[in-house]
Copies of this chain bind each other. A is one copy, B any other.
């Protein structure tokens, strides 16, 4: 009998981004004179929208007076924010949600990591390869490591993951995708929903980047597909939408229709389980943060968010265009802030990462860090300052490799 959860010992020793951070730190201390440009970790650089700033100042003032002070809020989030989400993010796409199907959190990473709490330790799990490492590691921690299967996303299948051959209990899908920057069509997504309904599987749909979708025909929410409420949980984030990476707010949708059958034949509501999980192990998102999130939906907030996203997608368009003109093979970057760059000359991901860092002082993310099918790719993010993205492209253009 072990005091600790020994599944932690099955984890790879270091988290991808810590490894990169270590390499960059080392490089910077060896070359203090060089200007390092990061197209690596997916952190934003634009400030919070002014509407959020104003809402936060107002909320901070409220917290400073006994008459307007707010203590414990609802674990599920304030009604004002849950209503705004239902009204602005979902209703216009024909998805009608009750506010009690929306759970406000301190960000999609927490929910993505914690959602496993309500799922069986014996479940089989399917996820695409390459994949956001949190899906893998949180499932390993939960004891499901040996039952993870990977669905390759590569040149051979045209970067479209295929349905599993047999039954899988839990499927993670992330669209627009991190790391490839690719999207899923309505038809492809319908295949997954149909599979999950048929197999009584659960889809965990990570829509953290939905605000970057520019093509009209691409679904923003899995619930745009008929029947998805019976089989899917959706994760949403304000991190990239409105620059909340350091502000921490997101939400998780658990529809009332979503049920599972317990081993003794009872029908169990996943909404009820998640609510219980959150009421027990979470105490709500800061009031000030929720007011900031609410402000995103004001007319000014929406315009400011749009302008920030346009700025980043301008980076993406510029980098994609430049790289293609230089003969690089690039994917993604049209409805997502990530560009999936094929390494030239058959180089490995880490090899090309090292080369870009050593020779051009550019930080990327090695594709293989997201899974074996990412080998031979690096991920570039469009979250940098325009002038840095341009300088990075200048360096690549002038590169004698």
Show the binding face of A for B, using Cβ within 8 Å: 1-6, 8-9, 11, 15, 18, 41, 43-48, 50, 53, 56-57, 60-61, 63-66, 69-73, 106-107, 109-110, 112-114, 117-123, 133-134, 137-138, 141, 143, 169-170, 200-202, 243, 245-248, 260-263, 266, 268, 270, 273, 276-277, 279-289, 385
Contact = CB atoms under 8 A, between A and B. Distances in A.
Contacts of A2: 120, 122-123, 260-263
Given A1-B123, A4-B260, A4-B273, 14 more contacts: A1-B169, A2-B262, A3-B119, A3-B201, A5-B117, A15-B276, A56-B63, A57-B60, A63-B246, A106-B286, A113-B280, A137-B276, A246-B284, A286-B286
B4 A122 contact: no
A215 to B, nearest CB: 27
5 contacts: A3-B201, A4-B118, A15-B280, A48-B63, A117-B141
Contacts of A18: 279
B9 A262 contact: yes
Contact of A123 (B3, B71, B282): B3
Ordered nearest first, which 9 A-B pairs have the shortest CB separation?
A: A113-B281, A53-B64, A43-B71, A71-B245, A3-B260, A109-B283, A47-B69, A70-B246, A2-B120
Nearest to A274: B8
Nearest to A200: B3
